[in-house]
Structures are given as C-alpha cells and as structure tokens.
Chains A and B, each alone.
Chain A
Amino acid sequence: MRGTPPPPGPRILGASFRLAAQTFVADPQWLIPSIVAPVIFALAAYEMYRGSGPVLVLYAILGAGMMSMWGQTLYGSGWAIGQDRFLGTLEPVLGAPARYLWVVAGRVLWNTLIGLAGGALVFLVIAATYHAPLPLRDPLLFVGLFAFVIATLATVGLLFSALFVLTRYGGFIQNIGEFAFYVATGCMFPVVLLPFWTTPLSLLFPPTWALDALRYVGVPGYRGLSWGLLPDLVGALVLSVAYAAAAALLFERVVRHVLAQGTADEY
C-alpha cells in the first residue's frame, strides 16, 4: 500500500469527536464552565423567580440552561480552532488530506453534547433539590426538541469557528458573540421585552426558531413568535442547513487564506 485515498467526512468527524472527548476527560477544569456553572445559574434563577409562578420559573431555568449551553458552544468552537493554533497542530492537521470542516465539526459536536449534558443536569438538580416536577406536557418531545436546539447551536458554532480560523483574536469575537446572542435569541427575556430592532435580528439565528419551538412544548400557554410549532421547526432547519453550508464554503476559503498568508504556525 502506497499512500491512501482521502478519508470520508464522517470518519474524520468521528476521530475528531473522539479526540475532543479524550482531551475533555483528561482536563477536569472543563467541568466548571460546562457542567457546574449551568447548575449554579439555574439554582439562582429558580430562587429569583420562585414566587412568580411555575411558568416563569421554567422560563428562567430554561434561559439559564440555554445561556450556559450557548457559552459552551461558542467557547468550544473558538477553542476548537484556538486549540490547534495553541498546540501547533494546525499545520499537521491542514497537511493531512482531510477537510478541516469535518475536524471542527467533530469538536463542535462534542461541545454541544456537553452543553446538552449540562442542560439535562440542570433539570435533574432542580427537580431533586426542590422536589418540584416541572410542568412539562410532553417530556419525550421536549427531549427531542432539546437535541434539535443543540444541533442548531452546533451549526452556529461551526460558522463561528470558520471566522475564528481567520483571526487570531478569536477570544474577542467569542465574548462579543456571547453577549449578542443572549440578547438576540431572547434566552433570558421574552422576545416582546426586547427593543423592537433585535427581533428581526434574532430571527437570523437558527436557535431562536428552535428555542421558540421548544417553549411551545415546555411552557404551557406559550405564545412566543405565534407561528406554531411546525413553522418554527422548518425555519430552524432551513436556517441551520444554510449555516452549515456557509460554514463549509467559508472553511475552504479560510484555509486557503491561511495558506496564502502563511499564518498557520502562529498563535
């Protein structure tokens, strides 16, 4: 055997996912932002809204969970790239015949899954601490939609990652992005309380749609964007596919740019 044909995308994704998991396990400090922080957020939110009725409580907890998950996704996708620059592995990875998009996708997927685990933990801790079963109509559908929200978050993370390779100031974008997202997707506030111009903006984020769908299922009597569950799902799906496609295109260009500039070895 001499040389090898380029590997298929899913294999690269799998390898990258595996390495991300091993790296995570090898470094327990990660547990703080991704698992411990969401639980503390949620407990605080619960205490704050406790007297305001079950709907608002769920809303707040969902917000806390989502906020942490978004942080995890964004932080993780920045790190997905930053890590390679930091370790000096960007060059050997780009030197392989694998498409970099798949490498990043594997890490982003791992990070979003950790976000999901954080969210699930929030739920369990709240339920166990307060012996207060949350008013969920359809737990199974809720969990399914929850995973869907994660997937839409992952596509946003992927697109952000593409932007991170382009710049060595990934950390800067990361924080700005995090803030913008909290506001734009209305995790913490009902959409109607936001300044009017942020609503159209937030519609550009796939998770806004997916979250809206999630709230239909999770929050009794929720009206939200008032388009109904199905349009929400379709909107989220279409936007997510568009984000993933844009990320794929951008990655090709960005890698080309890095090779032209000769900055793959910088950090």
Chain B
Amino acid sequence: MSLPVILTRDLTRVYQSRKGFFFQDAVRTEALRGVNLEVSSGEVYGLLGPNGAGKTTLTKILATLLLPTSGTARVLGLDVSTESRAIRSRIGLVLGGERGLYNRVSGRENLRYFADLYGVPVARRARRIDEVLELVGMTSAADRRVEEYSRGMKQRIHLARGLLHEPELLFLDEPTIGLDPKSAREIRKLIRTLASQGVTIFLTTHYMFEAEELCHRISVLTRGRIVAEDTVDGLRRLVGGDRTIEVEGYGFDEKELSLLRALPGVSRIVEEDFGPRERLTLRVRTPETTEGDIRASLPLQRDLRIRERTTTLEDIYLDLVEEEAT
C-alpha cells in the first residue's frame, strides 16, 4: 500500500551526441548525475530547476521514453527499462509544446487516435473524449484543425491526451511554459482538480511560485543533481528567521561590498543591474543589522534606497541554484 509510486536509485543519464558533419566531435553531456527520489501515491511532486537542469530527461526516463545510463527507476513498482509497456498503460505523459500533434486533423481526431493507441474501450471512447475535452475547456474548438490552434489550445489538447486512459500517475513537463498568464492559471487550476481526484502528479517547472502553489513536496534539481528536497513548509523553515534587504544605488564597488559583507549576520549578497542603477539583495541572519548600519557602510552613496521585504521560497531556490553553480 505504501509502496512508492516512483522510486529511483543513483539514476544517471549521459547523452552522447555528435557535432559537425565531416569532423565529428563526440559531445558527452551528463544530464543526470545520481538522482534518488521517492514519490508516494496521491502526492503532487514538484521538480524545480533552471533550464538544462535535467528535468525533461528525468521525466522521460520515468515515462519510459528514454533509458537510464545507470542506476534504477521503478514506476508503480515496475522497472522502467524492462517493464515499460506495462507502465505506459498506467501513466499519462504531457510533454507539451508547439509540436507533438497531428496538425492536419482536428483536436478530437488526435484524441481518438491516441484513445485507440492507449486501448480505451471502444464503447467508452467517444464519451471519454468528450469528457477530457470538457475538462480542458476545448469542447467548442474540438473539431477545428490543430494547425489553427493557439499555443494554449495545443497545450490543452496535450493535457487531454495525457488523461484519456485515466492514468493513476501523470507526468507534466513544464505544463505552463510559453502560455499567457490567464491560460497558465487555468492549467494550474486543472492540475489542482486532478490532484483532488487522487491522481498522483509529477510536475516539473522552473517557477518556484508554481511549485509552491501546486505541490506537496518539492525537489530542486540543478546540473543533474537534486540539491534539496522538502515539503513546502519544510522549505519555508529553511528560510527560518532570514531577512531580505534590498539596497539600490548607482553602482557599488568591491570595497563597499566587502564592508556590507562584514556586517553582522550578512550571509549572501546577490547583485543585479537595472540600467545605471544596481540592486543588492542581502540575506541577513540576525535582527541587529539595521538600515542605519547599511547606510553607515556606504557613506559615498547618494540616492540610496533601502527596503526590507519578506524572504520568499523563490529566494531560497535561487540561493540553492547559485550555490550549486559556484
């Protein structure tokens, strides 16, 4: 009963690709470097990471579209390399994007084709297609050709396809990427609906707010490694009593930065440019350091703007990603 729905052990994936035509250089990319994770039934699990972190690679391995280089992965208790067909009938996969649909036929015909490929009982097929179309809000556009669809409409059909055979586990690879905010919100709402119906969801995203809104547990993947894994509350505790202070001025030099770093409790400073202005974001671990102390450290700065704001999970996420990068 409490068997994990997804379980990976030291999972790695190396891509060997070739560059050039006549003189081919072998390019080796370690997309996953020892991933261990465990997802339980009924969970909404978020895999968060920047571009190129390995999110799609991990999703495809779990969905049996890519073989691991080493390590093991079990999905619904089945091995992804040797029992792939049994896994496929029980999971749904939404890779999304502009591609991946038959453009010359309608959304409904695309769904019918995949309903057959997934073995949805013929007697139920038409009704099930209507149901998923309704669920993703595509009923009225269902009979138009896919080539006339917008990005958001294609994404909805991708989602509908993933749901046709009522999978118990759903993989969603960046389900809202490239969508306008309104469509993205509707997709998130749909994901919450599915989760409330008991579907286990494995979702990747590069937005912390999305993971925070949807997921029970979140792991952060950077450069093929999981650098943190916790519940949303657990990650919040990681924030602890941390304060975040933003300091804006017309450029800061090394001397000023080291003075700020020397202030009590200052653990990290992130620099960002805005035209002639520069913003420093300070992570401060003690309550003593005040706005006055910061001003005192920067006597030559004119038009300094200092404001304290709440530390968000996004801050924690950026910290984790940057720590790994350095």
Contact = CB atoms under 8 A, between A and B. Distances in A.
B99 interface: yes
Interface in B146-202: 161, 165-168
A104 to B, nearest CB: 13
Interface SS of B by simple majority: loop
Interface string B94-108: 010101111111000
Given A262-B66, A264-B65, 17 more contacts: A2-B90, A2-B167, A4-B89, A4-B121, A6-B119, A7-B118, A19-B113, A87-B101, A87-B102, A95-B93, A96-B88, A96-B118, A98-B119, A259-B65, A259-B66, A259-B67, A262-B57
A15 B105 CA distance: 13
B85 interface: yes
Nearest to A89: B100
Nearest to B80: A259
B117 A3 contact: no
Contacts of A173: none
Given A4-B89, A259-B67, A260-B67, A93 B168 contact: no
A94 B102 contact: no
Given A6-B89, A87-B99, A262-B15, A11 B116 contact: yes
A88 interface: yes
Given A11-B116, A87-B101, A103-B117, A95 B165 contact: no
Nearest to A15: B116
Contacts of A3: 89-90, 165-168
B268 interface: no
A96 B66 contact: no
A21 to B, nearest CB: 10
A87 B88 contact: no
A95 B88 contact: yes
A92 interface: yes
A93 B112 CA distance: 13
B105 A4 contact: no
A264 B67 CA distance: 12
A264 B15 CA distance: 13
B63 interface: yes
A199 B265 CA distance: 87
B210 interface: no
In the A-B complex, the 3 residue pairs with the closest CB atoms = A88-B99, A7-B119, A15-B116
Contact of A4 (B57, B60, B63, B119): B119
Contact of B103 (A4, A87, A256, A262): A87
A2 B166 contact: yes
Contacts of B124: 1
B116 A92 contact: no
A7 B88 CA distance: 12
Interface of A: 1-8, 11-12, 14-16, 18-19, 22-23, 26-27, 87-89, 91-98, 103, 256, 259-262, 264
Contacts of A23: 102, 104-105
B145 to A, nearest CB: 7
Contacts of B85: 6, 97
Contacts of A12: 116-117
B114 interface: yes
A97 B118 contact: yes
Given A91-B95, A259-B66, A264-B65, A97 B166 contact: no
Contacts of A87: 99-103
A91 B116 contact: no
Q: Which of A7, A8, A94 counts the most chain B CB atoms within 10 A? A: A7
Contact of B105 (A1, A19, A91): A19
A19 B102 contact: yes
B206 to A, nearest CB: 19
A188 B157 CA distance: 48
B229 interface: no
10 contacts: A4-B89, A7-B116, A12-B117, A15-B112, A89-B99, A89-B101, A92-B95, A92-B114, A97-B89, A256-B67
